[in-house]
Amino acid sequence: MSKRVLTTESGAPVADNQNSASAGVGGPLLLQDQHLLEKLARFNRERIPERVVHARGSGAYGYFEVTDDVTGFTRAAFLGEVGKRTETFIRFSTVADNLGGADAVRDPRGFALKFYTEEGNYDLVGNNTPVFFIKDPIKFPDFIHSQKRDPFTGKQEPDNVWDFWAHAPEATHQITWLMGDRGIPASYRHMNGYGSHTYQWTNAEGEAFFVKYHFKTNQGIRSLSADQAAEVVGKDANSHQTDLLQAIERGVNPSWTLYVQIMPAAEAADYRFNPFDVTKVWPHSDYPLQRVGRLVLDRNPDNVFAEVEQAAFSPNNFVPGITASPDKMLQGRMFAYADAHRYRLGVNHTQLPVNAPKATVADNYGRDGAHATRYGSRHDKNYEPNSYEGPAQTDAPLGAPRELSGWTGTYANAAHVKDDDFFQAGELYRLMSSDEQARLIANIAGGLSQVTRDDVVEKNLAHFHAADAEYGKRVEEAVRELREDQ
Contact 352, 345 (CB under 8 A): yes
SS3 assignment, position 261: strand
Q: Which residue out of 121, 127, 348, 443 is catalytically annotated?
A: 127
Cα separation, 57 vs 258, whole angstroms: 22
Task: Report the sign of the C-alpha dihedral through residues 380, 384, 385, 391, in that order.
Answer: positive
Number of residues that this document lists for the chain: 486
What value does the CA radius of gyration of the chain take, rounded to a whole number of Å? 25
Contact 279, 463 (CB under 8 A): no
Cα separation, 224 vs 231, whole angstroms: 10
Contact 412, 420 (CB under 8 A): no
Cα separation, 34 vs 20, whole angstroms: 10
Phi then psi for residue 259, to 5 deg, are -120, 155
Neighbour count for residue 25 (Cβ, 10 Å): 5
Burial class (CB in 10 A: 0-12, 13-18, 19+), 31: exposed
Contact 62, 90 (CB under 8 A): yes
Neighbour count for residue 202 (Cβ, 10 Å): 23
Q: SS in 3 state form for 46-106?
A: CCCCCCCCCCCEEEEEEEEEECCCCCCCCCCHHHCCCCCEEEEEEEEEECCCCCCCCCCCC
Cα separation, 238 vs 244, whole angstroms: 10
Nearest to 311 by CA among 48, 59, 53, 49: 59
From residue 397, how far is each of 140, 263, 401 by CA, in Å?
30, 21, 8
Is 284 an active-site residue?
no
Q: Which residue out of 35, 54, 214, 349 is catalytically annotated?
A: 54
Cα separation, 261 vs 283, whole angstroms: 9
Cα separation, 483 vs 449, whole angstroms: 6
Nearest to 203 by CA among 321, 317, 118: 321
Residue 194: enclosing H or E segment and its boundaries?
Answer: strand 193-194
Cα separation, 380 vs 368, whole angstroms: 14
Is 197 an active-site residue?
no
- Positions marked catalytic: 54, 127
